[in-house]
Structure 1
Amino acid sequence: MTSRSPTGRRTGDAAFEELLTEGATVPVEGWDFSWFVGRATEERPPWGYHRLLDDRMSRATAALDLETGGGEVLAGISRPPALLVATESWPPNVAVARRNLRRVGGTVVATGTSRLLPFRDASVDLVVSRHPVHTPWPEIARVLAPGGRFLSQQIGAGTLGELAEAVRGVPQDGPPRSDQQTGPAVAAAEAAGLRVVDLRQATLRVAFHDIAAVVHLLRKVVWTVPDFSVERYRPQLARLHERIVAEGEFVAYARRFLIEAVRPE
């Protein structure tokens, strides 16, 4: 049986199954989040990473983007440097990134699982990374030329913890990851020989308007619920679906921090 909620959203078992199927079949390659328009919203950090990225790229001669995903963010710069290289470890994303970065003259290097950067010492004057899974601070310091700069927007500890708890039914296990906290990030940067010149934090509201958006995000951002599958968490997804229908949305919070560091002359 299917009915309609006061907001006009379809309810019932049939609607739930349709939404599950839709969320489970949307392609997850790349970092294009346009599919979520009208289905989920995320507040943006106040510092404007795209604007800062565009400014730093316009002043660089040789730049490197780590963990570029599908290259969507990097492809948005207006004045690319003479040499622009990106790395990506997930094979399905490599082809997407190569296609997206053609317009800015970027080259994509597939890195596999190695945390070593396949570039010469002091070979670039700018390294950037948006939402890296791992930040290889010693390698960043090694490839940066003296006076070079690292700019990164990072995922903070506890991001989407409310969603993970709603899906798993229990709070997240263990202490926060040290590489998702500002203190350890600053310490790691300084230990690698870099000087931190900017550090900012923000907590951002994220709202999901249907269960398909939840399923798609959990398939795409796999570290939120690492063992996620629709079948494994079907009962929890059904309860969350009912909650979204009743309340109109499910709200969680993303934590972000911006860190910028330079290699001393």
Structure 2
Amino acid sequence: MRTLESLLDEGASVPVEGWDFSWFAGPPTRATEERPPWGYARRLAGRYAAARAALDVQTGGGEVVRAALTGAAEVPAVLAVTESWPPNAALARAALAPWRAEVAEVPDDAPLPFPDGRFDLVSSRHPVSVNWPELARVLAPGGTYFAQHVGVGTAADLTDFMMGPQPVGDGRSPARAVADAERVGLRVVDLREATLRMEFFDVAAVAVYLRKVIWIVPGFTVEGYRDKLAELHERIRDHGPFVAHTTRYLIECSRPDVPL
């Protein structure tokens, strides 16, 4: 087994821009995460084929949108995405350049810089926050919001190990999302949930994951959590991969074909 110091050095140095998680697959395998059964990117590709104007919110580096567009029989005539972090926005511009996508750099909780009713499809994969009034505003009558959200308690096993037991609220619950969607006049037409297994095979993988997915342990740095990472290193050495769990839900909403 590699030394703690070499793993921590690696965990602190791996680039974390974008939503490309291929580094974890190795070789060697560093971490695994079970995928939801519904195939979000494949389903999004089918919706792109039927859309005239599409917006992806909090797109990361555009990786999921690019995969969906590549698999789509046809693509929307108008394509836009938003992203709050400049390094990710730069990746999205490069990834989506073949489709001439507009990339708008806006904070995750800011108003969307588009006119009312501009898009017949709005999508998002793992948004940090969901601005339901803005989503409803930019949707055209008869339009669709199609997304995969992170659910309650995602990676709580890892959060609690690193930070001690933490309270779990309902802010990311499907029930809360349904209520918020209906409050702005959207109608939920599909809702599916899944609990999925994650395994981390070394502390470098844990460090890269926590640097990349910043809300799991807010303020995480390798140096700041060195003692807990050392403890986790020993646990993995003695007992095998660290197991955590994620929750995901697929949600599809339609805007009524009448003014909200």
When normalised by structure 2's length, the TM-score is 0.93
Structure 2 residue 202 is matched with structure 1 residue 206: no
CA contact (8 A) 2:53 2:79 kept: yes
Secondary structure of residue in 2 paired with 1:151? strand
Instruction: Identify which of 90, 106, 114 aligns with 1:119.
Output: 114
Secondary structure of residue in 2 paired with 1:23? helix
CA distance in 2, matches of 1:92, 1:43: 27
Secondary structure of residue in 2 paired with 1:115? coil
Alignment-derived partner of residue 41 in structure 2: 50
CA contact (8 A) 2:170 2:176 kept: no
Alignment of 1:86-105 (within 5 A): 86-105=81-100
Q: Offset at 1:227?
A: 2.3
Q: Offset at 1:246?
A: 1.8
Alignment of 1:1-265 (within 5 A): 10-11=1-2, 15-37=3-25, 38-76=29-67, 77=69, 78-79=71-72, 80-112=75-107, 114-168=109-163, 170-172=164-166, 174-178=167-171, 180-265=172-257
The CA deviation string for residues 163-186 of structure 1, in whole angstroms up to 9 with x for no partner, is 111112x111x34142x0011100
Shift of the 199–114 alpha-carbon distance from structure 1 to 2, 3 Å rule, reads closer
The CA deviation string for residues 181-233 of structure 1, in whole angstroms up to 9 with x for no partner, is 01110010001110000001100000001110000000010100002112221
CA distance in 2, matches of 1:116, 1:88: 12
Q: Which amino acid aligns with 1:219?
A: R
Q: Which amino acid aligns with 2:202?
A: D
Q: Which amino acid aligns with 1:248?
A: G
CA distance in 1, matches of 2:108, 2:186: 25
Give me the identity figure in percent.
55
CA distance in 1, matches of 2:107, 2:36: 30
CA contact (8 A) 2:109 2:129 kept: no
The CA deviation string for residues 26-60 of structure 1, in whole angstroms up to 9 with x for no partner, is 11111111111111000000111011111111110
CA contact (8 A) 1:196 1:260 kept: yes
CA distance in 2, matches of 1:249, 1:27: 23
Secondary structure of residue in 2 paired with 1:73? helix
Q: Offset at 1:234?
A: 1.1
Secondary structure of residue in 1 paired with 2:63? coil
Q: Which amino acid aligns with 2:200?
A: F
Aligned positions, number: 250
Alignment-derived partner of residue 6 in structure 1: none
CA distance in 2, matches of 1:244, 1:104: 44
CA distance in 1, matches of 2:168, 2:34: 26
Range with greater deviation from structure 2 (59-68 or 71-80):
71-80
CA distance in 1, matches of 2:170, 2:22: 29
Gapped regions of structure 2 (runs ≥ 5): none
CA distance in 2, matches of 1:160, 1:235: 20
Q: Offset at 1:94?
A: 0.8
Runs of 4+ that moved beyond 4 A: none
CA contact (8 A) 2:11 2:222 kept: no
Q: Offset at 1:104?
A: 2.9
Gapped regions of structure 1 (runs ≥ 5): 1-9
Q: Which amino acid aligns with 2:6?
A: E
CA contact (8 A) 1:75 1:103 kept: no
